[in-house]
Amino acid sequence: MKKILVVYYSQTGQLTEIVKSVLAPMEKSQDVSLVFEELKPKKPFPFPWTSRQFCDVFPESFQEIPCELEPFSFNTDDDFDLIILAYTVWYMSPSIPVTSFLKSLEAKKVISNKPVVTIIGCRNMWLLAQEKVKTRIFDIGGKIAGNIVLMDKALNLIGIVTIAYWMFTGKKDRYLKIFPHPGVSNKDIREAGRFGHIILRGLSKEKIDIDQTVLNEHGAIHVLPSYIIFEKRIQKVFKIWSNFILQKGDPGDPNRRFRVRLFFYYLLVAIFLIAPLATLVSFIARIVSRKKIKEAVEYFSQNSLKH
Ligand SMILES: Cc1cc2nc3c(=O)[nH]c(=O)nc-3n(C[C@H](O)[C@H](O)[C@H](O)COP(=O)(O)O)c2cc1C
């Protein structure tokens, strides 16, 4: 019997649905026992968000500054065979509750020397978040054994409009009845059980061996080349903005409100003016540095960590 710890944090329940769908084959298996740990921040994050709250979590998300979590319910002395870490992406980083888990002593204890499968439910920018998660897991002695990414497949600008509508109103229907449904499609969530079957097969071996290549053949990771360039560029700007806001105080501090507002305006400009231009630049860069981009796609499609 293989014992698996499943750690997750979902605000709207979308990631919870993804996790349930992926794990359905394992729930039915007699050879697996699952222990679920839903992360609960001591001060819950709001949903729906106001624009101020949404932007106020930016510096801590991006710089991986943890928040306080409610005590975990899993037994840290348990010897798990596999850890499944399901997370959403906030500002190209793991969400703050997941960062907080990864920085806890309990995570260090259960993840050390253990394989970890990551499940990501996001809009479309997850590459650098996964690098942060990979680094943290590596630092505490674990190893990523598999990665599954489910994202919104709408065009970037359409996805931005629909997610903004969802996050700021709490409604997951079709904005103005013209736009598509926000988030990961129901079809993609429903069909995610195929990944669970592959994980299950990897568990039946003497030493847990989950094949990322097989997962990828079933669509677990799909790296969009333009996002490699995109995320790397945004990362540099986010570093400056996050330091600029943090100089003025901690989360919710009225002293940093003005800078948080400026960041909101920057996001609007970046999304509607800079992003289309950046798409063009990325397109040209992809043609010019084809070999480099190909190598980067290969790198982000596997689980080892570049030093
Ligand atoms: C504050 C915030 C920042 C986000 N930033 C990103 C991002 O950088 N990249 C991305 O693909 N999705 C981003 N998302 C979308 C989330 O990854 C996720 O898909 C969405 O919040 C639904 O997740 P849930 O299961 O927790 O409800 C962001 C969401 C929030 C709330």
Distance 185 CA to ligand 1 centre (A): 15
Max Cα distance, the chain (Å): 57
CATH of 2-222, one of 2.60.40.420, 3.30.1180.10, 3.40.50.360, 3.30.2350.10: 3.40.50.360
- The tens digit of pLDDT for each residue in 203-262 reads 987 888 999 999 999 999 999 888 888 899 899 999 999 999 999 999 999 999 999 999
What are the boundaries of each domain within the chain? Answer: 2-222, 228-296
Please choose from 90, 149, 245 the residue to mutate so as to test ligand 1's pocket, defined by most ligand atoms within 8 A of CB: 90
State yes or no: pLDDT of 157 exceeds 80.
yes
Q: What is the pLDDT, as a whole number, of residue 77?
A: 95
Please choose from 8, 45, 122 the residue to mutate so as to test ligand 1's pocket, defined by most ligand atoms within 8 A of CB: 122
- The tens digit of pLDDT for each residue in 100-123 reads 999 999 999 999 999 999 999 999
This prediction has a pTM of: 0.97
Residue located nearest, by CA, to atom 5 of ligand 1: 90
State yes or no: pLDDT of 281 exceeds 90.
no
